[in-house]
Amino acid sequence: MKEKIILDTDIGSDIDDSFALAYLLHASSAQLLGVTTVTGQARQRAQLCRILIGIAGRQVPVYAGEDHPLDNQEEHQPVCQMAGIAEEYPADAPRSQESAVDFLL
């Protein structure tokens, strides 16, 4: 029986979340139900997820979360992994109009 998983990620600043997404996309023991993105530039992070999911040949819904933390701290890292990848691999998957919070609920 596959483990049902929702990945909530701040992908794009460091490589760890990209590895986690790649693992979940290929793990035979996991059923990736969806991906939600958080922290600064959540929509750009969602775009990166859609690109990586497309490269893997999969279709998994991606939902952008809030750009700012609830405690109003503005500290966040840039989405540096997007440099160049968006031009080489455009995201073909449609953007969801539903928010990450609505999806999680």
pLDDT tens-digit series, residues 40-99: 788 888 999 999 999 899 999 999 987 766 666 666 666 666 656 666 666 655 566 777
Q: What is the pLDDT of residues 70-84, one digit of tens each?
A: 666 666 666 666 656
Please state whether the predicted TM-score (pTM) of the whole model is above 0.85. Answer: no
- pLDDT at residue 98, rounded to an integer: 75
- Under 8 Å CB-to-CB from 64, ≥6 apart: which residues? 36, 37, 42, 43, 45, 46, 95, 96, 99, 100
d(CA 37, CA 64): 5
d(CA 36, CA 49): 9
d(CA 63, CA 69): 16
